[in-house]
Amino acid sequence: MTFFSTQKKDSSGIIIFLSSGQIEAEYFSSGLKNKKDIFFVKENFKLAQNMDPKTLEDETFLALKKVLHKLFQISSNEKPSKIFFVFGAPWYISTAINIDLKRNKTFFVEKDEIIKELESKSLENNANFAVIESRIISIIANGYEIKDLKGKRAKHVSAKAILNIAEKRILKKIEVETARYFPETKIKVHTLPSISTEEISDTVDNDNYLLVLSEDEITEICFVKEKRVTESISVPFGRNYFLRILVEIELACDFDSADSILKMYNEGHLGPEKKEVLEEIMKEASRRCQKVLRKALFKYFDKDRHLESVVILSSSKDINLILKNIFTDYYIGQNTKVDFVKLLLSKNLEQSSLFSSAVSGIKNLYF
């Protein structure tokens, strides 16, 4: 897999977002200045209840082949200069790593050496994984936190970082499939939380906030400090969670009918009786989510640590309000101040807000 610098310049490229349940992609050229030169491609695939990881992987790569084929047709044999893959859950693992570097004599504190040590430690028990992103959160030299490493010397350095890793096997499959259509094109992999903050931080007044990325199966809760993701956790609810509840209580016979009922509810097309029933069901579903949320966040909120802002990005606009209410009620229940809950929606009705954020983040970073 080939990597490249973040030097900004006009060129063509492809951005592909891998999520659980769908793949979205954009092909752009001519420096992004002409909207006619931007093409959007989406491929959905159904997630059965309790789908095993192998089937999920097979369905994902089948959809990826279709997306790459469509993008190849759009490109008209023109070679894009770069291809960006943005991973949503469950295609990466985020982990916090701490290291200590000690020497008998003072040494220059080098960022590259610290990152190398951090990455080495993160892969000690993960031989089948590769680091796709690393961000240093803090560096302490001789007992003092330092921001600027230039010219700094120390005998003892400790560092903390967030590293995102992915299976080497998955990365290789992506490389092989992509090369079938775009041979020798450079590939860069990012994760949704880190790339989203590139765009979101410009729209949020507070440098510290809670970023909620809700996909079909999993919701990622990311703690952002000084405009950087410092920790993230996954909780097992998303849009499909609500659909399963509709099937479970037999209001719907399968996923498709549950999907239809949820859409009709949000569009105001349900009759009074069914609407009343569904509202009670959604309240119960929200209560269940509250329990999951409380359990996941229990150790993260205490008297010394709380975030005053919540930003929500959802894969589907029809659960945005539900998610907003869940997090607002959670904060109220914790007697924790919340200045606002901000819902960021995609300007393109075809695109999910997650993909829209990923695209903006990539373009802000590279173009």
Return the domain boundaries, the chain.
13-90+168-195+356-366, 93-167, 205-343
Give mean pLDDT, residues 125-145: 85
Distance CA 55, CA 323 (A): 28
Average of per-residue pLDDT values in the chain: 79
**Distance between start and end Cα atoms, the chain:** 21
pLDDT above 70 (res 304): no
pTM here?
0.83
**pLDDT level of residue 160 (50, 70, 90 thresholds):** confident
Q: Which residues lie below 8 Å from residue 29, measured CB to CB, with a gap of 6+? A: 11, 12, 13, 37, 78, 80
Q: How many residues does the chain have?
A: 367
CATH of domain 13-90+168-195+356-366: 3.30.420.60
- Residues 160-175, mean pLDDT to the nearest whole number: 92
To the nearest whole percent, how much of the chain has pLDDT over 90? Answer: 15
Sign of CA dihedral 26, 31, 36, 37: negative
How confident is the model at residue 25, as a pLDDT? 92
pLDDT for position 181: 93
Which top CATH class is 93-167? Answer: alpha beta
pLDDT band at 65 (very low <50, low <70, confident <90, very high): very high
Domains 13-90+168-195+356-366 and 93-167 share a fold: no
- Give the residue-averaged pLDDT of 287-308: 70
Q: Which CATH class is domain 205-343?
A: alpha beta
> Which of 256, 250, 333, 259 has the alpha carbon at shortest distance from 290?
333
* C-alpha torsion 119→16→341→207, nearest 10: 40
pLDDT at 145 > cutoff 80: yes
Question: CA quadruple 176, 181, 187, 192: dihedral positive or negative?
Answer: negative
